[in-house]
A and B are shown apart, each in its own frame.
Chain A
Amino acid sequence: MQTQAASRANANLVQSLGVDGRILTMLVVLAVVWTVFQILTLGQPGQFLSPQNLWNLSVQTAVVGIMVGGMVMVIVTRQIDLSVGSILGFSGMIMALIQTVPPLGWGGNWILALLAGLLLGALIGAFQGYWVAYWAVPAFVVTLAGLLIFRNATFIVASGRTIGPLNDNFKVLGGGLNGSIGEFWTWVVGLVVMAYIVYQALTNRSRRIKNGLPVRPVWAEAVVNGILLALTLAFVLVMNAFPYPGTNIPRGMPVPVLITLVVLFALNWVALNTRFGRYVFAIGGNPEAALLAGINVKRILVAVFALMGMLAALAGAVQAARLNFVTNSMGNLLELDVIAAAVIGGTALAGGSGTIVGAALGALLMSSLRSGMVLMGMPTEWQNVVLGAVLLAAVIWNTVYLRNRR
């Protein structure tokens, strides 16, 4: 009796906060994981919550983070993309070739290389999406074929060689020595984000009141936005707390992390605020209803796969820039990390349900677990066992959550 009343009170609390319960859970899990790792690594020089480790963690999350929002959209439409690791490798290799191999290879055309790579990724994605949408070939098969084709095309175009070193400007994308935006610009980004949070909260609220629509209680608004502001501030402080070696000049936010945040913000905005985003979810919820509502389901599917391909190519650029050399195994098996991050972040493989924010947190949770286990010196095999168990637990929890909601 008592616990039932308590859980109802909890549910009401979450409801008035107006936040997805699954995202709240993710945040709590992340906080617990970080705390546990901090305690376990307390005795060693590289503690889990040291600025250096958190800074590295952010860079390690970038590649999966760039792709995971696209994967959410793919999975929400009831599809899957197994080829993202191969697209990442192939377009990364093409970008490396364009900027290093004569006649194209003179240092100035790294932008050309980047644009060509992004276009290539988008085209590959659109091509796969075409077979899925217009020929009803299962995405599992189409993208499995893509996985094989582009993994090996990567080997073929470079004749099995490792390509590099890459252009210095291009390498900025990877977050290496010159790949951070510095203390000042990190503050600028942070303050802009904080101003945006406040602006959004105020204008949304006053508009809804003006239109006579229900709003969250003031305290809920304050709590949610207060937490967002605090997280943003903490992020800026951490990014600015890690100096260049042998100096006390802060590095600030790494460029790949900035790219990831921009991508995730844009995808989240599109998913929640545009017709395209609405249709992605409608198709996942009920494809027949989407058709009967006059939605061009096929075109949306092609666009979703093209977007996924382009994001994989962007992640390929970041990965290549970070490694400085592109091997033909770059991005191998990365599709599994991306799918796992999306699923851990609450994306349902049945389609129709998932959030970009949740998936971003899923990616962060995965890389946190990896990073923490590495710090503790756990063997790779055990790391993967733990990650697998976490994936399973997340799927079970997600299933239970969706069932109870019905």
Chain B
Amino acid sequence: MIWNNTFETMPRDEMELLQLTRLQQVVARVYATVPFYRDSLAKSGATPDKIRSLDDLKRIPFTLKQDMRASYPYDLFAEPLDQIVRIHASSGTTGKPTVVGYTQRDIDNWSEMMARSFVAAGTHKGDIVHNAYGYGLFTGGLGAHYGAEKVGASVIPMSGGNTRKQLMIMQDFGSTVLTCTPSYSLFLAEVAAEEGIDFKKLKLKVGIFGAEPWSETMRQEIEEKLNIKAIDIYGLSEIMGPGVGIECIEAQNGLHLWEDHFIPEIIEPDTGEVLPLGEKGELVITTITKEGIPLLRYRTRDITRIIPEPCICGRTHLRIERLSGRSDDMLIIRGVNVFPSQIESVLFGIKGVEPHYQLIIDREGTLDTLEIQVEVNEQTFSDEIKNLQALSNHICHAIKEMLGVTCRVRLVEPKTIVRSEGKAKRVIDNRKA
């Protein structure tokens, strides 16, 4: 099913023409109204009259997360505050948050893109959407909420936390679609098992998961434990919020990025050079319809590649591969680049190993050390020490073989690794302390 045929299946040549027109409009708009862009466009010679083809996008300087912080709170807004109907902010782990403002048209476009995303994930009118994304400054809750309403589904605005109550409502209200972070879905499954709730007896059929990178093996785990289809959704508050891109349920392979609103590029993170189509690098997004806070060539720090082949679902919007991680999540351990999602993938590949783990990185002398804490459950437990030692050795070898890093595995008691009700805190890097 497709929500908006005109736009979602638009032929590529028409799409590119639309993108160019919208790009020219947005460049002219920010040049006229945002001092930051007037300066940077003038300095780099990419003034509005110089943007004649989509290829000229390259001439525009990048916008960085730091630029947003430096513009705190409203300096990047392209509309006066009386045109702004909503303000969100992303939780800054350090210092001030980054602030975004939406005009009514921005909210309408966002709802439209979330509606497309819900439908791509197999949701329709009549579904009961159990929305466990956090409501508040975070864009997840309200973003999913408006999109689900636009589709005509019934939304349960659960927000995060209070897991036992979530399960009760899921059972009693007959929720059919779950929206939350992938790690929270596994936490729900764990608590359900404790409570003796069988997901096979629930009406839940699909889950739309985002806001943190997750692996293909974690998808299998979720699909099995919750007895649903697990769909990957992409978004970031700087660009809009959830619904920048989504997997279609037909292919479950790569996330369609709504190209009538965003132009994606993939760059080499160190040099900033645009990479040839299909190569892996950092995703850069230009918003071409946003009014409140349009961003030109925003560096998302997310690592992915563009899948050039057309998709079986009929949508013409190109797909990005599921994210391998954030460039700022990337760990460098003894010179080897590792994403936590890759470690997760290896762990989930080992029979019986729990989806709850934590990585502790430290430095002994000049050497980095990686400790992986894994909970022992009744499947992996043995009354014989040698079997438990064999389990840790097996994990170490698998990590070494797949990722090329040496690690140490510490088996820990169940429930000792903190469960997250939002984004999971998987990594403790003591080298930065």
Chain A partners chain B: no
Give residues in A with beta carbon < 8 Å to B.
none
Give residues in B with beta carbon < 8 Å to A.
none
